[in-house]
Amino acid sequence: MKKHKGYQFLTPRVELFPKKRTSAKKYDQGVGKNLNEKLFAVEENKNEEIDGKHISSVMSYDTGDNINIEKIKTILPHRYPFLLVDKVIHVERNKKIIGIKQVSANEQFFNGHFPAKAVMPGVLQVEALAQLGGILCLTNEENSGRDNLFLFAGVDGVRWKKPVLPGDTLVMEVEQISFKPTLGVAKLRGCAYVGGHVVLKVAEMTFALAR
C-alpha cells in the first residue's frame, strides 16, 4: 500500500500559484486527484481491506508543526461561532501556512443557508482563509509574541469553483506576497481545497495592523 507522508496528499502537485498565466479550466485540471481516490488507492492488491486505522493515519495531518485549536485561540481573537480555523498543519514564517476547517452539519449558518440544501456561504470561506492568513501574519518574525491585531482590509480576485457542503474538510493554503512592518500592511493570496479539488481562489488579501 502506498504510504502518504505529512500533508502532501492534500495539495496539488503543481505550483499553487504558477508563474505562467493559465486558464481556470486548465488550472483545475492540474489539481491532484480526488481525496477519496488517494485514501482508497491500493497499488498491489485491489482487494486489500481498507480499515479505520489506515484512514485515520492518512487524515491525521501530523507534520510536526501543528497548531491546535487551543493555541489558535491565543493567536486570534475570534470565538464560536465565528472562529473558522480548526487546526494549522504547517506554517513557514513569513512565507506560507496550511490549515483546515472541518465543516460540520451543525454549523449555525446552515440553518438559513439553505434549509433545503446546505451550502457553506462563500463569504465565510473567504473569512476562513483570511483568519488563516491572520495567523500567518501574527506568527511572523516581526509580530511573534506581540499583542497585535491585523484587520481584514481588502480582497481582490475571488473565484469560487465548487460548493462546500456539510461533512467536507476544507483545506486552506495562504502564501505571503509582501509585508511592510513600518506601515503594518500585509498582502497575501490563498486557495482552498476539498478532496483535492480547488473550491476557492483568492488572488490578493490585504491586512492592516490595528494601531
| Catalytic residue IDs | 113
pLDDT value at residue 144: 63
Say which residues have a Cβ less than 8 Å from residue 49's Cβ, sequence separation at least 6: none
Q: Mean pLDDT for each 10-residue chunk of the chain (211 residues)?
A: 44 43 42 40 53 74 82 95 95 93 96 96 98 92 73 96 97 95 93 95 95 67
Domains, the chain, in order of start with CATH, read 48-210 (3.10.129.10)
CB of 160 closer than 8 Å to CB of 200: yes
pLDDT value at residue 20: 46
pLDDT value at residue 23: 43
Report the distance separating Cα 115 and Cα 170, nearest Å: 21
Q: Cell 490595528 sits at which residue? A: 210
pLDDT value at residue 128: 98
pTM above 0.85, yes or no: no
CB of 81 closer than 8 Å to CB of 128: no
Say which residues have a Cβ less than 8 Å from residue 164's Cβ, sequence separation at least 6: 103, 119, 120, 125, 170, 192, 194, 199, 200
